[in-house]
Amino acid sequence: MRTRALNGHGMAFLTVTGRIPLEQKKGRTTPSREWKTKPVDADLQDEWLEDLNSIPGINIISICGGHDIWRPAHIVFCFPGMSDEQEEKMVDELRDFPGTWALRGEIGKRKHMRICMASVFFAGTPIGNIWWSKAADRLQVAVRRAKRKAR
């Protein structure tokens, strides 16, 4: 039985495979670089990070460009103040995008529901770069549709 919350890699693995990982991979990987005083994967472009962080109300908890099946590309985030119904609808909307898995997971340390948007398309690869370049737009569309449907 699991006694502690999954980290970002564990949550991404669960999102993509539907299985809880037998062991959690460490959070920080290499090669990495600094982005606004935070370590990020070297293959994540500044533009993608800026676009994701500019989404109103988002709190990004974990982000990874992807390395292998144990550490899929992912964005773990929460939207404090969003209703359960809106979060469920947002996750459903995210699942409609090609190459994207989404999961409304568990409550994290900050007492907000953690949501994971994941892919097996890794940053630094041609198809992965396309997925990452559209991730923020896809997330914004999903949030907008979820809020509209929940009214």
Question: Percentage of the chain surpassing pLDDT 90?
Answer: 62
Nearest to 62, CA basis, from 137, 125, 11: 11
Contacts of 103 (CB under 8 A, 6+ apart): 11, 14, 15, 91, 115, 116, 118
Point out which residues pair with 102 in neighbouring strands. Answer: 117
Q: What is the pLDDT of residues 101-128, one digit of tens each?
A: 999 987 766 678 899 999 999 999 999 9
Kindly list the structural domains of the chain, giving each domain's residue range(s) and its CATH number in brackets, ordered by start. 8-18+31-149 (3.90.1150)
Token pair 């409550």 in the structure block, residue: 107
In this predicted structure, the answer to whether residue 46 has a pLDDT above a threshold of 90 is yes
Point out which residues pair with 39 in neighbouring strands. Answer: 34
- The tally of CA atoms less than 13 A away on the side-chain side of residue 45 is 16
- Band the pLDDT of 151: cuts 50, 70, 90: low
Q: What are phi and psi of 110, to 5 degrees?
A: -90, 10
Q: What is the pLDDT of residues 22-40, one digit of tens each?
A: 877 766 666 788 888 888 8
> Tell me, what's the pLDDT at 140?
95
SS3 34: strand
Cα–Cα dist 70/87, whole Å? 25
The pLDDT of 44-55, averaged and rounded, is 95
Q: For 26, which DSSP code?
A: P
Sign of torsion, CA 6 47 136 70? negative
> Tell me, what's the pLDDT at 1?
40
> Tell me, what's the pLDDT at 36?
83
Cα–Cα dist 31/39, whole Å? 10
Cα–Cα dist 150/100, whole Å? 22
pTM, two decimal places: 0.90
